[in-house]
Amino acid sequence: MPHDTPLIATIVAGLGLAFVFGALANRFRIPPLVGYLIAGVLVGPNTPGFVADAGLANELAEIGVILLMFGVGLHFSLKDLLSVRAIAVPGAIVQIGFATALGAGLAWMLGWSMGAGLVFGLALSVASTVVLLRALQERRMIETERGRIAVGWLIVEDLAMVLALVLLPALAGVLGGQEQADAHASGLLSLPASYGIWGVVGITLAKVAAFVIVMLVVGRRVIPWILHYVAHTGSRELFRLAVLAIALGVAFGAAKLFGVSLALGAFFAGMIMSESEPSHRAAEESLPLRDAFSVLFFVSVGMLFDPFSLISNGWPILATLAIIVIGKSLAAFAIVVAFGYPIATALIISASLAQIGEFSFILAELGVGLKLLPEQGRDLILAGAILSIVLNPLMFLAIDWMKPWLERRAARTAPPVEAKPVGPATEPGQVASVAAAAKKEDGPPPKTTLTGHAILIGYGRVGGLVGSALKGAAMPFLVIEDADKTLAKLKTDSVETVAGNAANAEVFAAANPEGASRLILAIPNAFEAGQIVLRARAANPAINVIARAHSDAEVEHLKGLGADTVIMGEREIARGIVEEVLGSKPELRRETAEPSVA
Ligand code: AMP
């Protein structure tokens, strides 16, 4: 049966085992990603038992990369990208240079050619988009300044690698490999070697520029037009399909026509869609697909790995890993600090880039194909990728642990920057948002000094209105929010905030639930809200909990978990409408579990 349907077998085995091992990993408090990689090793050709189709797995993984970058694009504007160029461009270039030098050094010690050293070094210098995005997403950092720097940095690295992929075949002869192998260069990507180095660089840059211009001029008009047209049909299904077709189509077109990477193409498609608010919201709905496919990415990486190579290649693997994890991190850290960013930012950037992934595999394959890189080089790159991806979550733990120490050292050399003095905590509006300021630094947010206050979670369409009413009534409260833009606005309004996901124990504890009198849940996700209710009840049995829901089932759920009052949004909307139409206070009673409109 699997012989007849290799695609289905690969998807089922990949997702199924990834789920089992991801859940197991989670059980042992290891990131699920490690479980996905193990699942990949198990369905790979190097372990006995079922073997999935590696070629298919790779292509499925590519879809994951496309959708991930599309999602990033949705959260990224051209302005964001330009705002980090001052650090991202020099940062990426210096880091690539440093890593390449180290890689070439190791290659030299292993007795490889200069060309092999160059390919090997380049492969070690570029971080994996998927791993970086997953790490930032898990920590909800994509939309923070650090997240933007890391993503911008990665985009510069991506561009550099696109250039390397195009240049290598042309330069293979000079570097001691085989002149021009067409096997790997597809579409317009292959350029005749006769153009010379600068010719090839020039043409490549021109193609990237052409792609960007086409997207900004044509894409910017056509994509919103298509979305408007489809929205007009009233079919949600067609709309989602349009979003998906545009994301995949632009990525594929970018790669085939312009020689730009799939990831970069998808990123641009997302960025263009993010410019209009409704299409942005709608496009986000189509993202669950992304998660499934990014899991397949990790499975496909696992498949390439031969666990036995760990034994035969002992010290070179350790040296490769050291370059990726230590060498690259030190370079990134030094650059970010040299640019005057706080130590915490430098640590996050270093940790998020201390791994390698998909681009490295592509480069390694190309190098081997051009007879530039020995097969051992590809094995080292693979092992280095797997190990660095597995170690990556630990890097984030390590920086949490190192940060206080580094900061103390830094404080000894330079006087610490004092936090703004906090006003007397008599009025809610007066309390400066220490927590929001402290969000720039990581670790648990500082605990509020408020007592007898209300904790308002979420400051969007609902929480925003609640908050200004509380302010008007001079009721002491603080807000837990995780959207940066909202936090910034709250800060200028000098409302006290705790930044982060309220479902996170440390974040919630910083709001002093033990000492609070009320908890107001103004977030739309009833599952998250339920977790928070449980936590609040455990901390303070007497606290009064008011929650927001969108269906009768959610009302039941939240009440079951201990909410005192649950307001069903749709019922209140109906009430407003009835009031408008009939001109009287309608009979609809809130918080009952009957159908909304009788
Ligand atoms: P709205 O649906 O417009 O009322 O917006 C909900 C608000 O709650 C948004 O500003 C979100 O950023 C915020 N939000 C949603 N979930 C959480 C959470 N778990 N922790 C903190 N803020 C949240």
Residue 583, SS3? coil
Can you tell me the distance from the alpha carbon of 310 to that of 41, in angstroms, rounded to the nearest whole number?
A: 13
Domain locations in the chain as residue ranges = 23-186+209-409, 445-563
Q: Is 460 in the pocket of ligand 1 (CB under 6 A)?
A: yes
Answer whether 461 contacts ligand 1 (Cβ < 6 A): yes
Does 41 score more than 60 pLDDT? Answer: yes
Ligand 1 atom 23 nearest Cα: 458
For residue 1, count CB atoms less than 10 angstroms from its CB and return exposed for 0-12, middle for 13-18, buried for 19 or more: exposed
Q: How far apart are CA 239 and CA 230, in angstroms?
A: 6
pLDDT (mean) for 463-478 = 94
| Whether residue 503 has its Cβ less than 6 Å from ligand 1 | yes
| Ligand 1 pocket test target in 281, 497, 523 with most atoms within 8 Å of CB | 523
Contact, 546 vs 564, CB < 8 A?
yes
Question: What's the pTM value of the predicted model, to 2 decimals?
Answer: 0.61
Measured in Å, residue 480 CA sits from the centre of ligand 1 at 9
Q: What is the pLDDT of residue 196?
A: 67
Q: Strand locations in 258-362, DSSP E?
A: none
Closest-CA residue, ligand 1 atom 15, reads: 523
pLDDT average, residue stretch 579-593: 68
Q: How far is the CA of 390 from the centre of ligand 1 (A)?
A: 31
Pocket test for ligand 1, best of 466, 482, 567 (most atoms within 8 A of CB): 482
Quick one: angle between helices 358-369 and 129-138, nearest 10? Answer: 170
Residue 492 has pLDDT above 90, yes or no: no
**44-50 own/partner pairs: CB under 8 Å, 24+ apart:** 44/302, 44/303, 44/304, 44/305, 45/303, 46/305, 46/306, 46/307, 46/308, 47/307, 50/2, 50/9, 50/13
Three-state DSSP at 401 gives helix
How many whole angstroms separate alpha carbon 335 and alpha carbon 348?
13
| The predicted structure's pLDDT at residue 192 | 55
What is the percentage of the chain residues whose pLDDT exceeds 70? 84
Q: Whose CA is nearest to atom 18 of ligand 1?
A: 501
pLDDT in tens, 90-109: 999 999 999 999 999 999 99
Q: CATH top-level class for 23-186+209-409? A: mainly alpha
- For residues 260 and 441, the model is more confident at 260
What is the average pLDDT score of the chain? 81
For domain 445-563, is the CATH number 3.40.50.2000? no
Nearest partner of 329 among 356, 364, 310, judged by Cα: 356
Point out the least confidently predicted range of 134-148, 204-218, 312-326, 566-580. 134-148
Give the model's confidence band at 344: pLDDT under 50 very low, under 70 low, under 90 confident, else very high. Answer: confident
